Structure 1
Amino acid sequence: MSNVIEQPVQARLVASKPQMERVPAALRYDAADPFAVYMAFPAHATLEGTDVSWVFARELLEAGLEAPAGLGDVRVRPYGYDRTVLEFHASEGIAVVHVRTSELRRFLRRTWLLVPAGHEHHFLDVDQDVVELLRDAC
């Protein structure tokens, strides 16, 4: 069984135009980084014209499905029937996307099967992390 889960999602980019543009995005979860979720956007969907990936807590995504969550660069909140809003705050501005809540729930279920909530510490390689931290200190 793979220790990485990837799931494409259809995101709607909220812009000043009256119609929301659909952009492909991908959610990614790696058991080697058990607290994190990655959301990647292709170059044509970004202001910089390069692929952009955001990393945020799996717990944040879970909490944001039920109530507004997050105070930092990534914020998540429910929006209407079967929509969730993800806000990505950067120095260049704020990107706001809508994703179907059902897609996010399916993704989270798959991550919990791989790494159950509360068991993330079993998947960390603390010894390797310490080696990497100390390697640059010498």
Structure 2
Amino acid sequence: MSTVIEAIVEARLVAAAPRMPSIPAALHYDRRDPYAVRMTFPAPATLAGVEVCWTFSRELLSAGLHEPQGEGDVRVRPYGYDRTVLEFHAPEGTAVVHVRSGEIRRFLRAAGELVPVGLEHLQLDLDRGLAELMRDSG
């Protein structure tokens, strides 16, 4: 069984310069980090011209489909009938991205089949994590 779910979604950058109507962004879920989702933007879509990856909680993405969520670097909210807005806040500025809600729902369904919501803790190897912390501290 696969341990990773990845979906390419069409992301529309709002107020992008240079004008770029939409880009293929990747949503990534790995059962080894069961609470997190990563969203990666290709180099041509970023100000620095390098691939950029944001990591945030699966719960934030899911809840943001229904009502505004987030207070930190990543915020998610519904927009209209079938769009979801993701805001990524960094010292360099804020990127505002629209994604079709249906694409996010399909991704979350696949992630939920891999690791059901509420059972994420069963994926964690706490003994190994503790051993790594102890090794690194010595």
TM-score by length of 2: 0.95
Once the two structures are TM-superposed, the CA of residue 21 in structure 1 deviates from its matched residue by 2.0
Q: Does 1:111 align with 2:74?
A: no
Number of the residue aligned with 2:55:
55
Q: Secondary structure at the match of 2:131?
A: helix
Number of the residue aligned with 1:73:
73
Number of the residue aligned with 1:83:
83
Once the two structures are TM-superposed, the CA of residue 135 in structure 1 deviates from its matched residue by 2.1
Q: Secondary structure at the match of 1:61?
A: helix
Tell me how far apart the structure 1 counterparts of residues 10 and 98 of structure 2 sit (CA, whole Å).
9
Kept in 1, the 8 Å contact 2:20–2:45? The answer is no
Number of the residue aligned with 2:4:
4
Q: Secondary structure at the match of 2:12?
A: strand
Identity across matched positions, percent: 64
Number of the residue aligned with 1:101:
101
Ranges of 4+ aligned residues in structure 1 off by more than 3 Å: none
Instruction: Show CA shifts across 1:112-132 (max 9, x none).
Output: 111111100000011111122
Once the two structures are TM-superposed, the CA of residue 111 in structure 1 deviates from its matched residue by 0.6
Once the two structures are TM-superposed, the CA of residue 23 in structure 1 deviates from its matched residue by 1.1
Number of the residue aligned with 1:23:
23
Tell me how far apart the structure 2 counterparts of residues 118 and 24 of structure 1 sit (CA, whole Å).
30
Tell me how far apart the structure 1 counterparts of residues 91 and 25 of structure 2 sit (CA, whole Å).
21
Tell me how far apart the structure 1 counterparts of residues 5 and 24 of structure 2 sit (CA, whole Å).
17
Structure 2 unaligned regions, length at least 5: none
Counterpart code for 1:68:
P
Tell me how far apart the structure 1 counterparts of residues 29 and 42 of structure 2 sit (CA, whole Å).
18
Counterpart code for 2:33:
D
Instruction: Show CA shifts across 1:43-71 (max 9, x none).
Output: 11111111110000000000000000000
Q: Secondary structure at the match of 1:40?
A: strand
Q: State how many pairs are aligned.
A: 137
Once the two structures are TM-superposed, the CA of residue 16 in structure 1 deviates from its matched residue by 6.1
Number of the residue aligned with 2:44:
44
Once the two structures are TM-superposed, the CA of residue 90 in structure 1 deviates from its matched residue by 0.4
TM-score by length of 1: 0.95
Number of the residue aligned with 1:137:
137
Farther-moved stretch of structure 1 (41-50 vs 127-136)? 127-136
